Amino acid sequence: MRGRVSLTQPGENDVSSSSGHHRSDLDEYLGTPAACRPGECHRQAAHRAGCLFGARRVAPAGRFDVSSSARQNPRWVDAILVQPWLLPLVRMALVSAYVIGGLAKLANFHAAVLEQEHFGLHPGWLWAVFAIVVELGGSVCVIADRLVWLGAGGLGVLTMVAMFVANDFWNQLGSARFMALNSFFEHLGLLAALVMATCVAGVKQSAGTAGVQKNP
């Protein structure tokens, strides 16, 4: 009977065994089991590799999760940031001035009209109604975490109007200029916080959508 001829080239067995050895080392490093269902090994390896290289992972809606190698905060700070009550409390604190201002204008509408006219906004009653609706309606959107872009956007527009109308430090002198300057940049910081609140809401919505698509 004719003998079989090996098609293996010289040195090929060494390369194959070396490749298998390196692959087993990589599997061990990534924590991948030696035998698993088709496709499962690749998903587990990709997940572990992402963690090793500091990649961000999608967390359940309402929370953020960053691998330990990518964290920049102390552990006690992370422990506070992951509390479920933190973001609702921060949203309420962010819009607290608008809630108080809107309720005060609603309780004394005549004074609200005079305030608008004092800053040159006419007709005063229309601007007062606009301020009340935006302050209360926008605050509800931010607190309820629904249509945050709309609520925060309306509050941002109202804040910009106040900055350039009521805090025009460039037209003031002495102590009045100093107070208007401080108030102007306080409003600027508040405007930036509204932008950040909108960004956070967008990230949460994207994470929730990704979770739904992953687990239909």
What is the per-residue pLDDT across 88-110, written as a single tens digit (0 to 9) for each? 999 999 999 999 999 999 999 99
Q: How many CB atoms lie within 10 A of CB 92?
A: 13
Does the pLDDT of residue 50 top 50, yes or no?
Answer: no
- Specify the pLDDT at position 72: 85
The two three-digit tokens of residue 134, written as one number: 């935006």
Q: Give the separation between CA 150 and CA 142, rounded to whole angstroms.
A: 9
Rounded to an integer, the average pLDDT of 199-203 is 90
Handedness of CA 80, 82, 85, 88 (dihedral sign): positive
* Least confident piece of the model among 15-24, 73-82, 101-110, 133-142: 15-24
Query: What residues contact 188, with CB distance under 8 A and at least 6 apart?
Result: 163
Query: What residues contact 176, with CB distance under 8 A and at least 6 apart?
Result: none
- Specify the pLDDT at position 56: 44
Q: Give the separation between CA 157 and CA 154, rounded to whole angstroms.
A: 5
Contact 197, 142 (CB under 8 A): yes
Contact 105, 116 (CB under 8 A): no
Output the average pLDDT for the chain.
78
Rounded to an integer, the average pLDDT of 158-171 is 95
CA–chain centroid gap for 210, Å, is: 15
The residue among 69 and 168 whose pLDDT is bigger is 168
E strand or H helix at 156: helix 148-165
DSSP letter at 4?
Answer: P
Q: What is the pTM of this model?
A: 0.64
Query: What residues contact 60, with CB distance under 8 A and at least 6 apart?
Result: 207, 208, 211
* Least confident piece of the model among 44-58, 128-142, 147-161, 174-188: 44-58
The residue among 18 and 151 whose pLDDT is bigger is 151
**Domain locations in the chain?**
12-81, 86-214
Q: Give the separation between CA 33 and CA 14, rounded to whole angstroms.
A: 24
- Specify the pLDDT at position 210: 58
Q: Give the separation between CA 177 and CA 209, rounded to whole angstroms.
A: 48
- Specify the pLDDT at position 203: 85
Q: Give the separation between CA 109 and CA 195, rounded to whole angstroms.
A: 29
For tokens 């809606």, the residue is 61
* Burial of 51 from C-beta contacts in 10 A (0-12 / 13-18 / 19+): middle
Measure Cα distances from 59 to 47, 65, 162 in Å. Answer: 13, 5, 38
Contact 51, 64 (CB under 8 A): no
